[in-house]
Structure 1
Amino acid sequence: MTADHLFPGREPDYSYCETMLRRDDPDRWLSALFVPRPLRPHIHALYAFSLEIARVREIVSEPLLGEIRYQWWRDAIEGSGSETQANPVAAALLDTVERSDLPKRPLLDLIDARHFDLYDDPMESVEALEAYARATSSGLFRLASTILEPDEPTQGLGADEAAGIAYALTGLLRALPWHCARGQLYVPLDLLAKHGARREDFAAGVATPGVLAALADLRALARRHLETFDARILGLPDRSRAAFLPASLCELYLCAMEQPGYDPFKTPVAPPQWRRQWILWRAAKTWG
């Protein structure tokens, strides 16, 4: 069954989302291959929206322009925007929200949390970092699982929150060189104080003992949330579990950051695609 048959008039929009995801977020695209084909375009649309919001800072020249862009997306989601159908990601997302009866609040919360990305303010605490991760990542896992299994919500079971925080922390650790190069720091100030690390060390890309200890604490935090997720994934409805497959890749990346000679500012964390595909396949078999 083709996408144009499933979504008459919307096939180009959904196709755009898939192309965007395959190019810019290959892990989520690979994970979506294990989602039932009729629902896959909705997963693409959801994650393409997340990508659009996440990269706002990269495409605007000043924070005010980012604020305007975020407001456009808020208006689109709340139904008060104009020309939303001209934006393929917005068109596919809104169609997904309607067809899957998704709540809009998590989408709006994601936009609100991403305001942090526009500025160079430091992340104040581990608690603030976890709240940021819940809004930007956990909500997406919850919405994706709702698309796959609308009759048995996973909210309240804890798997979506744990998976989201672990996935977000792992992603932020991988992106550390890029964030530091543009003046951003997601490593919480309370961790820096605990280990005697300085913001200047991150800005200069110097892997001091304090910097390494703070990053090790973040990896340990990600793993604690992974342990919670692993203990709860099999308690979720069978049809919703494929929505959580991206989280199965976290341990691969965390282990890569602990290899001898790893420099958090210079060493790319990019295992070959065949390893990622194998891990996703194994998780799909185990959780299925």
Structure 2
Amino acid sequence: MPTAAQHDDLIALGWSALPASYRIPDIAPTLAEARAWCKHLAEMHYENFHVASWFLPEALRPHFHAIYAYCRVSDDLGDEVGNTEQSLALLDLWGCELDACYEGRARHPVFVALAETIRACNIPKEPFADLLTAFRQDQVVTRYATMQDVLGYCRNSANPVGRLVLYTCGYTDEERFRLSDATCSALQLANFWQDVKVDFAKDRVYIPQDDMQRFGVSDAIIQQGIATPEFRALLKHEVEFARNLFYEGLPLINMVDRDLALDLDLFSRGGLEILNAIEHRDYDVLSARPAISKRTKLQLALRAVSGKFLPFLRLGPKGKAD
């Protein structure tokens, strides 16, 4: 265990690897300033979030910006520092700030904005805390024995995001949470299968070890970057598992209001298209990263935009339009 002085040094070094604006200010910003900070962070990072925000009710957008900012900064504390001890120290500090937020002592722009979201939407601490558990886990766990272990990771890394969205939109029942968990875990798995090579460069393998052994695939094959017949068969198996998980979550689209349904439709279809892109490459994710084409992205966005103004075309139980 590091001493208090060493812990402070780890935090200082960790902050130095991140944008200066991430640091906790001495004086808390106003709610308006905090919301502007979160909105800027959300819109500068990923176009996918910005596209999705087109379909959110305007009154809810500040809440989603705050949630996104929390997730973004938390993720960066884990993945962008480059030092395990420093990342863990920063994640512990971030967890203390989360506690302070729920105790009415928020200082960071993220938590000032989030405090109002928590109050307005009556969101419990658990999903926020679960995300930090996942980011800590990524610092110390690099392999997963079974799919159940991978899904256990998804429970903390992906599922809380869907639950936060549902809380923000006023849904708190277990059935919607269950369906949301299936969709979020499926999205996480789709990203894992898309990024096998990228993750391996970070010494992380999310493909279950027992599946690798069953199909005769080793770390050495991934390292060589050659998609052998055994590797292709393994990834086909994992893609089908993720696809079935998407199908399991699709009924949620018919159980929420129109605006949220459009977002769910967009993200579910986007995740399924990632799996299709992997399949179209004959499950070779090692020589190049499968990606959704710009044309497909445009089609998905246009379909969602048209759904905003036309009768909503709902997905059937196997991803086909009813």
TM-score range, shorter chain: 0.7 to 0.9
1:195 aligned to which of 212, 215, 219: 215
Task: Give the C-alpha shift of residue 262 in structure 1.
Answer: 6.3
1:10 aligned to which of 31, 34, 39: 31
CA distance in 2, matches of 1:29, 1:159: 24
Q: Choose between structure 1 and 2 for higher RCO, CA contacts under 8 A separated by at least 6 residues.
A: 1
Equivalent residue, structure 1, for 2:182: 162
CA distance in 2, matches of 1:168, 1:175: 11
Provide the TM-score with structure 1 as the length reference.
0.85
| Deviations, residues 18-68 of structure 1 (Å, cap 9, x unaligned) | 333333332233212201011012112212222222233432232111111
* Structure 1 residues without counterparts, runs of 5 or longer: 1-7
Equivalent residue, structure 1, for 2:172: 153
CA distance in 2, matches of 1:119, 1:261: 32
Tell me: CA distance 1:55–1:271, structure 2 relative to 1, closer, same or farther (3 Å). Answer: farther
Equivalent residue, structure 2, for 1:139: 160
Deviates further, 160-169 or 91-100: 91-100
Letter in 2 for 1:40: R
Letter in 2 for 1:246: F
Structure with higher Rg: it is 2
| Deviations, residues 191-248 of structure 1 (Å, cap 9, x unaligned) | 1012110012223323222222222222111111111112343134556535634233
1:271 pairs with 2:304: no
Q: Is the 8 A contact 2:146 2:208 kept in 1?
A: yes
> Percent of pairs identical after alignment?
19
Structure 1 residue matching 2:280: 3-state secondary structure = coil
| Deviations, residues 99-142 of structure 1 (Å, cap 9, x unaligned) | 22111111111111222221352122100111211222122111
Q: Is the 8 A contact 1:43 1:144 kept in 2?
A: yes
* Structure 2 residues without counterparts, runs of 5 or longer: 1-28, 316-322
Provide the TM-score with structure 2 as the length reference.
0.77
Q: Is the 8 A contact 1:21 1:29 kept in 2?
A: yes
CA distance in 2, matches of 1:12, 1:270: 36
Equivalent residue, structure 1, for 2:270: 249
Q: Is the 8 A contact 1:102 1:146 kept in 2?
A: yes
